[in-house]
Amino acid sequence: MPYIKLPELEEMDPEIQKLAREILEKTGKLGDIFKLLAIRKDIYFMTDNCVKTLLLNETELPYSTKERIALLVSQANNCPMCVDVHKNIAKMLGMSEEQIEETLKGIDHINTTEEEKELLRFCLRAASKDNYKITKEDLDKVLNLGYTTSQVFEAVTIAAYFNYINTLSNVFGLGK
């Protein structure tokens, strides 16, 4: 149970209510993170834009890489609600149950290239509290694997986004 009272549909901004009704038609329920974000229209739409840009739109990274980052960072941040949500999103975006379970066992268990594993390790470091210790050499190591600056920037932005959303979920007791 969340630590605060989350807004009900009729308490939300009319623009957000419209989106909420669409979600309710498709899924039958609104998630706690949706309700939390609905507290502030500006923050809701900023976050919604991040989700669309980083996770739902086709970008330079494959959906599987993006969802692996989501799962790994959310797991590292001890955010079970986000892990559960992204297990379902990963399935919706084409990942198999086996790929999801491999990811949750840790990077060394993922059946992927060594290059992607290194990118995922880099993202976990980027999402950690001691990310200030990352050096130019660390970044160059990932770039020398064949990733472009733009791809690494995207991957780190996804990791940072999950620090943001995991923080909201954890601080406000969502999914508990």
Residue 28 resides in a domain: yes
pLDDT at 35: 97
pLDDT in tens, 96-137: 999 999 999 999 999 999 999 999 999 999 999 999 999 999
pLDDT in tens, 148-169: 999 999 999 999 999 999 999 9
The whole-number pLDDT of residue 164 equals: 97
Tell me which residue range forms the domain holding 83: 60-171
Residue 176 has pLDDT above 80, yes or no: no
CB 136 within 8 A of CB 152: no
**One domain for residues 81 and 161:** yes
Rounded Cα distance between 143 and 133, Å, is: 17
pLDDT bin (cut points 50, 70, 90) of residue 175 is: confident
* 141, 69: one domain: yes
- Is residue 145 within 8 Å of 119, Cβ to Cβ? yes
Residue 104 shares a structural domain with residue 137: yes
Looking at residue 70, its amino acid is: A
- State residue 93's pLDDT score: 87
Let me know whether 139 and 119 are in one domain.
yes
What is the structure's pLDDT at 27? Answer: 86
Angle between helical axes of 114-127 and 136-143 (0-180°, round to 10): 150
Q: Distance (Å, rounded) from C-alpha 66 to C-alpha 136?
A: 23
The total number of structural domains in the chain stands at 2
Give the tens place of pLDDT for each residue, 62-80. Answer: 999 999 999 999 999 999 9
Q: CATH no. for residue 110?
A: 1.20.1290.10
pLDDT tens figures, 12-62: 999 999 999 999 998 888 999 999 999 999 999 999 999 999 999 999 999
- Mark whether 120 and 165 lie in a shared domain: yes
**pLDDT at site 52:** 94
DSSP designation for 58: -
